[in-house]
């Protein structure tokens, strides 16, 4: 195919240029131009075919010699206190400087929501996932926790007013099926995990016995990629 294209290009140029009336210098320039155009066509086709072939993988994106690998964290059920927290993603610390984790629940609202929140295994009087909807806070005993064998794939990025950075990890769905990103805010002396609600231009957290809104917050983002 490439040979035919180059040959066709040569024929068109040959028809356009009157070699019989051209000087030796002009013929040399014309022949060099034809050869250059033919080479560029060949290279262009080869590069295009190579990229299309490399991009066929469903797990990796490959462009020439560069390979981008994506590894996403996972959600696992928290059964009881015997559930291992070895690979659970440490999202911050509470007011006693103890680790807190990202959790999510299926709410009992109508219509239902999938809500991210705070799991504090060292909190007194309750052991569950604290989330907020409406204007109150709720504790769910059946929930999932976020785990990542390599926590460096996740990073907190600052944002405001219901916005989320590129690469933000979706932690749930609102009643309107909007993505809810995972938010973090420092309130008093502790950190809390909640949701970014773009439709309402704020992030919301379960704090004390009520809902706390924030215009400035951090968002959990994926930054797991490698070039090789």
The answer to whether residues 24 and 128 belong to one domain is no
pLDDT of residue 4: 42
Q: Is the pTM of this model over 0.85?
A: no
Q: Which residue has the tokens 């180059």?
A: 6
User: Which residue, among 141, 69, 149, 138, has the nearest Cα to 109 in the 3D structure?
Assistant: 138
The answer to whether residues 49 and 112 belong to one domain is no
pLDDT of residue 209: 83
The CB-based long-range contact list for 1-7 (8 Å cut-off, 24+ gap) reads 1/45, 2/41, 2/42, 2/45, 2/46, 5/38, 5/41, 5/42, 5/45, 6/38, 6/41, 6/42
User: Which residue, among 168, 167, 166, 174, has the nearest Cα to 200 in the 3D structure?
Assistant: 174
The answer to whether residues 212 and 172 belong to one domain is yes
Q: 228 in a domain, yes or no?
A: no
Structure tokens at 213: 């809104």
- Asked whether 147 and 88 are in contact (CB, 8 A), the reply is yes
Q: 121 in a domain, yes or no?
A: yes
Q: 67 in a domain, yes or no?
A: no
The answer to whether residues 14 and 125 belong to one domain is no
The answer to whether residues 104 and 189 belong to one domain is yes
Mapped onto helix, strand or coil, the DSSP state of residue 10 is helix
The answer to whether residues 93 and 21 belong to one domain is no
| Bridge partners, 130 (sequence order) | 118, 139
| Bridge partners, 212 (sequence order) | 205
The answer to whether residues 23 and 90 belong to one domain is no
Q: 38 in a domain, yes or no?
A: yes
The answer to whether residues 38 and 148 belong to one domain is no
For 175-214, give one letter per residue: b (16+ CB within 10 A) or e: eeebbbbbbbbeeeebbbbbbbbbeeebbbbbbeeebbbb
Mark which of 54, 82, 98 sits at the end of a domain: 54
pLDDT of residue 35: 52
Q: 79 in a domain, yes or no?
A: yes
Q: 151 in a domain, yes or no?
A: yes
Query: How many CB atoms are located within 10 Å of the residue 23 CB?
Result: 8
The answer to whether residues 92 and 153 belong to one domain is yes
DSSP state of 82: T
Q: 35 in a domain, yes or no?
A: yes
pLDDT tens readout for residues 129-176: 999 988 788 999 999 999 999 999 999 999 999 999 999 999 999 999
Full domain range(s) for residue 197: 74-222
Q: What's the total number of domains in the chain?
A: 2
pLDDT, tens digit only, all 228 positions of the chain: 444 444 444 444 444 444 444 454 455 544 454 454 444 444 333 332 332 333 333 333 344 444 444 456 999 999 988 899 999 999 999 999 999 999 999 998 888 999 999 999 988 766 799 999 887 889 999 999 999 999 999 999 999 999 999 999 999 999 999 999 999 999 988 999 999 999 999 999 999 888 999 999 999 999 854 433
The answer to whether residues 129 and 21 belong to one domain is no
User: Which residue, among 179, 152, 177, 157, has the nearest Cα to 167 in the 3D structure?
Assistant: 157
The answer to whether residues 83 and 42 belong to one domain is no
> Rounded to a whole number, what is the distance in angstroms from the first to the last CA of the chain?
32
pLDDT of residue 67: 42
- Asked whether 38 and 6 are in contact (CB, 8 A), the reply is yes
The answer to whether residues 127 and 163 belong to one domain is yes
pLDDT of residue 148: 94
pLDDT of residue 32: 55
Cα→Cα distances 15→5, 19, 24, 35, 127, Å: 15, 9, 17, 15, 84
- Asked whether 199 and 162 are in contact (CB, 8 A), the reply is yes
Q: 178 in a domain, yes or no?
A: yes
């Amino acid at each position: 195919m490439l040979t035919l294209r180059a040959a066709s290009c040569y024929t068109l140029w040959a028809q356009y240029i009157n070699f019989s009336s051209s000087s030796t210098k002009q013929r040399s320039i014309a022949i060099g131009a034809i050869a250059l155009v033919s080479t560029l066509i060949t290279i262009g086709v080869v590069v295009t075919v190579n990229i299309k072939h490399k991009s066929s993988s469903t797990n990796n994106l490959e462009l020439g010699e560069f390979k981008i690998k994506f590894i996403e964290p996972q959600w696992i059920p928290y059964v009881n206190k015997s559930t291992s927290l070895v690979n659970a993603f440490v999202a911050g610390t509470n007011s006693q400087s103890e680790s807190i984790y990202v959790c999510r629940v299926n709410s009992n609202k109508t219509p239902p929501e999938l809500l991210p929140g705070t799991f504090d295994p060292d909190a007194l009087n309750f052991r569950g996932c604290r989330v907020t909807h409406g204007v109150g806070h709720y504790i769910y005993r059946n929930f999932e926790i976020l785990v990542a064998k390599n926590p460096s794939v996740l990073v907190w990025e600052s944002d405001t007013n219901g916005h989320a950075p590129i690469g933000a990890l979706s932690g749930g769905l609102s009643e309107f099926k909007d993505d809810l990103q995972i938010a973090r805010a420092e309130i008093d002396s502790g950190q809390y995990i909640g949701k970014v609600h773009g439709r309402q231009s704020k992030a919301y957290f379960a704090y004390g016995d009520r809902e706390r809104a924030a215009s400035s917050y951090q968002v959990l983002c994926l930054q797991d990629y490698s070039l090789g």
